[in-house]
């Protein structure tokens, strides 16, 4: 069993035990200080399981506005000991400055950290938590769903029904097979590996992946490391699961899309800005690629009149990758554990490795 699998099991099955340990340490700290800490949760819709974890050992406050304004969050930052940062509002040195000496810890409720100035946290050695791994299954499930929906033209079929154009026939709305196909995963991290495990049940022909170095888990998954160009040229389905960085921004563009098969399906469950969306729209319109399944777009929310939404071969969902009840509950609980631990001066359950 891989290290990531062990961590995932621990995260999903042992939250209560971890909380008990952290709570005991936090309680000792609070007894010494003589008061309960105050934690700001930046979104009122944060799952109650996470809020209840915080309330065991802290007083919890929320911004009055919903969605919260940045100025209100910044004002409250100086009045609390910790922050559960829920949402993609930029998290940077400005927040730390406004938090001052009282602010001891921050945890996001996300795996992606593209909205966080991680370098600023590193320079200040400020405790920063996040919630990876626990969402791998939910995101991988969404990715597989998008692969099927895009490859089999589900959206186009629904449009035909809506427009009274259900004609049928032996050549009508034919899609792409998964069995025997070549699948490429750009970024074989936790989510990429979880997608690869699910693909085993589809009897695919070959699994390719890209990365800076070979992944030790790849052999068990039957995955082959190849250059990105080879992956794009050979794959029938391409999954994007890399984080958004300066290096990966618009890594899928007019040039790279042109290297894909005209029958290929692109699936993005990472971040919208990894794909040059204008180039993708053009590729979908002119047949450079067959279809796309997108959980993430740019910008978010996407305007209702965006051209991407008018394409029959684009399946677009509103960033629902981790949106299951259990996953969001787990993410909120882990974020709460991170904040409580950081305030207590103990190691976070899931610290960001800056």
- How many CB atoms are located within 10 Å of the residue 310 CB? 11
Residue 168 tokens, joined: 């049928």
Residue 348 tokens, joined: 């976070």
Residue 315 tokens, joined: 């399946």
Nearest to 252 by CA among 283, 216, 285: 283
CA-based end-to-end distance of the chain: 26
Nearest to 50 by CA among 117, 129, 138: 129
Nearest to 156 by CA among 318, 317, 316, 313: 313
Burial class of residue 230, CB neighbours in 10 A (0-12, 13-18, 19+): middle
319 is catalytic: yes
Across the beta sheet with 105-108, the strand order is: 59-61, 38-41, 82-85, 105-108, 128-129
Taking the CA atoms of residue 289, residue 291, residue 294 and residue 300 in that order, the dihedral angle to the nearest 10 degrees is: 70
Instruction: Please identify which of the residues 66, 88, 155, 319 carries the catalytic annotation.
Output: 319
For the annotated catalytic residues, the residue numbers are 319
């Amino acid at each position: 069993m891989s290290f990531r699998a062990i961590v995932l099991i621990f995260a999903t099955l042992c939250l209560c035990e971890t909380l008990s340990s952290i709570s005991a340490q936090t309680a000792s700290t609070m007894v010494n200080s003589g008061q309960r800490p105050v934690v700001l949760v930046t979104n009122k819709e944060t799952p109650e399981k996470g809020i209840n974890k915080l309330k065991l050992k802290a007083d919890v406050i929320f911004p009055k506005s919903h969605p919260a304004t940045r100025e209100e969050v910044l004002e409250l930052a100086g009045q609390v000991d910790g922050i559960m940062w829920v949402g993609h509002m930029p998290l940077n040195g400005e927040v730390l400055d406004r938090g001052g000496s009282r602010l001891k810890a921050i945890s996001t409720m996300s795996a992606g950290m593209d909205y966080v100035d991680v370098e600023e946290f590193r320079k200040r050695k400020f405790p920063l938590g996040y919630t990876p791994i626990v969402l791998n299954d939910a995101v991988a499930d969404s990715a597989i769903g998008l692969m099927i929906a895009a490859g089999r033209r589900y959206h186009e079929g629904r449009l035909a029904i809506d427009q009274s154009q259900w004609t049928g026939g032996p050549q009508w709305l034919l899609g792409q097979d998964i069995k025997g196909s070549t699948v490429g995963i750009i970024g074989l991290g936790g989510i990429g590996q979880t997608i690869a495990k699910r693909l085993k049940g589809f009897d695919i022909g070959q699994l390719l992946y890209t990365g800076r170095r070979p992944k030790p888990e790849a052999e068990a998954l039957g995955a082959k490391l190849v250059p990105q160009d080879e992956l794009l040229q050979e794959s029938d389905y391409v999954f994007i699961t890399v984080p958004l960085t300066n290096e990966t921004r618009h890594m899928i563009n007019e040039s790279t899309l042109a290297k894909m098969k005209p029958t290929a399906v692109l699936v993005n469950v990472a971040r919208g800005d990894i794909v040059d969306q204008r180039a993708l729209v053009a590729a979908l319109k002119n047949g450079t690629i067959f279809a796309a399944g997108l959980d993430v777009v740019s910008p978010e929310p996407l305007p209702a009149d965006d051209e991407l939404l008018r394409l029959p071969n684009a399946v677009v969902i509103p960033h629902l990758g981790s949106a299951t009840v259990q996953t969001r509950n787990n993410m909120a609980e882990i974020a709460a554990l991170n904040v409580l631990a950081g305030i207590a001066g103990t190691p976070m359950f899931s610290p960001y490795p800056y």
